[in-house]
Chains A and B, each alone.
Chain A
């Protein structure tokens, strides 16, 4: 799933490891989410949103909205 995680992380000058420690997941998990290879569960998506103090939809791009824009 497309997302703004890398941008939000860069704004705070956090490494993937920094973010992983804050989320209590592995660095590989952060990398997989950032690159869109893995879609986080709803609880993890909420944890990410709460960490950045943003609504989920400001971090993750809805696949259905993305496709409708393309149309």
Chain B
């Protein structure tokens, strides 16, 4: 991806949110493992690591709004469409395979990993069709 000012701001946000994610995850795992989480707080603590990830989705949306270079923005939108299509396809296929007991259960958040993998496929598609890879 071209290093536009909006992209640099996005990267900085992702770095901070990733650090927050690691902190929340470690705290939640430690809390549950050592039974330090009060019953009434369990749901809140369990979703704590999800919040920075949701923040990263928000940062991506904000990047699209802030990106002034329309061509670069279009490259990212194309990548995101590929990512969404890929992740939804993987989730659908996995769901049916799981229904017929052909694969084990996968936790829902793996869809995020599939989405990011799809972002890479989108970048490859951009490279092959337009000569610009994206991120």
Contacts and interface: CB of A to CB of B under 8 A. Distances in A.
A44 B2 CA distance: 18
A41 interface: yes
Q: How big is chain A's contact interface, by range?
A: 10 to 19
Interface stretch (A3-11, A20-28, A51-59, A62-70): A20-28
Contacts of B132: 28, 32
B131 interface: yes
B29 interface: no
A26 B71 CA distance: 8
A29 B68 contact: no
A28 to B, nearest CB: 5
B130 A24 contact: no
A29 B74 CA distance: 10
B71 A38 contact: yes
The number of chain B residues touching the other chain, given as a range, is 10 to 19
A26 B131 contact: no
B107 interface: no
A25 B72 CA distance: 9
Contacts of A26: 2, 4, 69, 71-72
B60 to A, nearest CB: 19
B70 A29 contact: yes
A28 B7 CA distance: 15
Interface in B2-48: 2, 4
A28 B2 contact: yes
A44 B131 CA distance: 21
Interface of B: 2, 4, 68-72, 74, 130-132
Top 8 closest A-B pairs, CB basis?
A29-B71, A26-B2, A25-B69, A26-B69, A28-B132, A37-B130, A38-B71, A32-B71
Given A33-B71, A40-B70, 6 more contacts: A25-B69, A25-B71, A29-B70, A29-B71, A38-B71, A44-B70
